[in-house]
Amino acid sequence: MSDVQNLIEKLNAPTSAERLEALRALKKLRDEGAMPVPTRGRDVNNHIHTCYSFSPYSPTKAVWMADQAGLATAGIMDHDSISGAREFIEAGDILNFPTTIGAECRASFAGTPLDGRRINNPDQATVAYVAFHGVPHSRIDALIKFFEPVRQARAQRNREMTLRLNTLLEPAGITLDYENDIVSLSMWNEGGEVTERHLLFAVATKLLARFGVGEALVAFLKDTLQIPVSVKAAAQLVDSTNPFVAFDLLGVLKSDLVEKFYVDATDECLPISEVSAFAKANGIVLAYAYLGDVTSSVTGDKKTQAFEDSFLEELFDVLKKTGFSAVTYMPSRNTRDQLVRLRALCDRHGLFQISGEDINQPRQKFICEAMRDPFFANLYDAAWALIGHERLATCTLTEGMFAPETIALMPSLSERIVHFRDAALDLYHTAD
Positions of the chain with pLDDT lower than 70, given as ranges: 1, 296-303, 430-432
Euclidean distance between CA atoms 152 and 147, whole angstroms: 9
Q: Which residues pair with 106 in a beta bridge?
A: 129
* Residue 105: CA count within 13 A, CB half-sphere: 35
Euclidean distance between CA atoms 276 and 325, whole angstroms: 10
Give the type of residue at 321.
K
Give the type of residue at 312.
L
Euclidean distance between CA atoms 225 and 258, whole angstroms: 11
Phi, psi at 338, each rounded to 5°: -60, -45
How confident is the model at residue 2, as a pLDDT?
87
Answer yes or no: are the C-beta atoms of 129 and 307 closer than 8 Å.
Answer: no
Question: Residue ranges of the alpha helices (H) in 56-185?
Answer: 59-69, 85-95, 140-169
Task: Tell me how far CA of residue 403 lies from CA of 75, 378, 388, 415, in angstroms.
Answer: 21, 21, 13, 14
Task: Tell me how far CA of residue 99 lies from CA of 46, 85, 275, 301, in angstroms.
Answer: 9, 10, 24, 28
* Nearest of 428, 367, 358 to residue 95 by alpha carbon: 428
Answer yes or no: are the C-beta atoms of 305 and 293 closer than 8 Å.
Answer: yes
Where does residue 111 rank: exposed (0-12), middle (13-18), buried (19+ CB within 10 A)? exposed
pTM tops 0.75, yes or no: yes
Helices 140-169 and 196-211 pack at an angle, to 10 degrees, of 40
Answer yes or no: are the C-beta atoms of 256 and 367 closer than 8 Å.
Answer: no
Euclidean distance between CA atoms 303 and 297, whole angstroms: 7
**Which segments within 256-367 are labelled E, that is strand?**
270-271, 285-289, 326-329, 352-355
How confident is the model at residue 296, as a pLDDT?
54
Euclidean distance between CA atoms 67 and 73, whole angstroms: 8
How confident is the model at residue 301, as a pLDDT?
47
Answer yes or no: are the C-beta atoms of 192 and 83 closer than 8 Å.
Answer: yes
Those residues whose C-beta lies under 8 Å from the C-beta of residue 387, and which sit 6 or more positions away, are 73, 98, 99, 100, 134, 420, 424, 427
How confident is the model at residue 302, as a pLDDT?
53
Ramachandran area for residue 393 (φ above 0: left; ψ -120 to 50: alpha; else beta): alpha
